[in-house]
Structure 1
Amino acid sequence: MTPFLSPPTRLYLLRHAKSGWAEPGGRDFDRTLSDAGFAEAELVADAAADRGYRPELVVSSTARRCRQTFDAFGRAFPGLEEVRFVDELYNAPADTYLELLGATRGVQSLMLIGHNPAMEEVLAHLCGHDVVGRTIPDGYPTSGLAVLEVADKTWALKDFLIG
């Protein structure tokens, strides 16, 4: 008998930390974190660890700045069970992130590391535009981490951390 695999009940939406400008002739995809971005990523990862926000599965864009943001979480949470880097999350619309969320089964907590405007749109889709407007009125900041939990079959914002 195949066990029933349920969707995640906790979702972490992490926008990559602040990046530098693309090198002359370089691609946006290859942009690295700025010095401030490296510090932001460490701060938000440490704050998440202090609160026990350990994802069971991390799915990240393959863009260099997202990988570098993840590295801070790897240091804050040694031995993360499963990490996947997905090309399709780079420059993807919110629907791609939502499809990935809908297809994820068998983990209790999922972290998505990606880009704006998709992160803000996913948060608005799951929790409502009014919640986004109250929580992040100036837009989804770099290294912003939204922590959502399922409450009565709907997603509710539990916490929002900024690095």
Structure 2
Amino acid sequence: MTLRLILVRHAKSSWDDPGQDDHDRPLNARGRDAAPRIAEWLAARGHVPAEVVASTARRTVETWELMAPVLGDCAVMRRDPALYHAPAQRMLDVLKHCAASPVLMLGHNPGIAEFAARLLQRPPGTQRFVTYPTCATLVAEFDAADWSEVIPGTGRVVEFVTPRDITP
């Protein structure tokens, strides 16, 4: 059996209020534009999630809220506080408790970049994968019957994209 993971870093967030708690930062205009464009790119390629798990940060929730109308309401969405600035191992632990496929996971850097790199047999051939900019999206596949069987170094890149790669 093949499982599919869609790994998305949240869209660009606002730094307009320097006193605002990091967890509560909203998306900025660029982020509000990028999230639905990434969703349209995913939908056009048939990468529609059955389950979504996201950090509880406002910017990750807003990213999904802008993606959901394009990708459909059929996905089960769960907010998991463990994903807020999670390191790679914690992200893997959360993934292992997912039930459906494809799973779309929304998180933060630097953990999401490290998680993506650890999961794959070979990284995509682009420098942007290393930095995993805002709204960067990896689609990867794993030969496993259940997410609990997924181990680092076994994923295959299906596609990788950033908002900058998509022509508006």
User: Per the shorter chain, which TM-score range?
Assistant: 0.7 to 0.9
What code does the residue aligned with 1:99 have? D
Deviations along 1:60-110, one digit per CA (max 9) or x if unpaired, are 0010000110012211022233000011111221111011112323x1211
* Paired amino acid for 1:135: T
SS of the residue 1:103 aligns to: coil
1:109 partnered with 2:102: yes
Letter of the aligned partner of 1:139 in structure 2? T
Report the TM-score, using the length of structure 1 for normalisation. 0.86
Are positions 1:146 and 2:141 aligned together?
A: no
Asked if 1:121 is matched to 2:114, the reply is: yes
Equivalent of residue 136 in structure 1, options 127, 131, 143: 127
What is the aligned counterpart of 1:42 among 20, 32, 36? 36
Determine whether 1:97 maps to 2:88: no
* Match in the other structure for 2:158: 158
Q: How does 1:19-38 map to 2 (within 5 A)?
A: 19-21=13-15, 23-38=17-32
1:18 corresponds to 2:12: yes
Q: What is the match of residue 52 of structure 1?
A: 46
Structure 1 match to 2:166: none
Supply the RMSD in Å over aligned alpha carbons.
2.0
Unaligned 5+ segments in structure 1 are 1-5
Q: Percent identity?
A: 34
Query: How many positions carry a matched residue from both structures?
Result: 154
Secondary structure of residue in 1 paired with 2:96: helix
Amino acid aligned to 2:159: D
CA distance in 2 between partners of 1:22 and 1:44 (Å): 24
Structure 2 unpaired stretches of 5+? 145-149, 164-168
CA contact (8 A) 2:5 2:103 kept: yes
Contact 1:57 1:110 survives alignment (8 Å): yes
Partner of 2:74: 80
- For the Cα contact (< 8 Å) 1:13–1:111, is it kept in 2? yes
User: What code does the residue aligned with 1:69 have?
Assistant: T
C-alpha contact 1:59 1:86 (8 A) present in aligned 2: yes
Distance in 2 (CA, whole Å) between partners of 1:124 and 1:113 is 16
Give how far 1:151 is off: 4.6
Question: One-letter code of the match for 1:155?
Answer: G
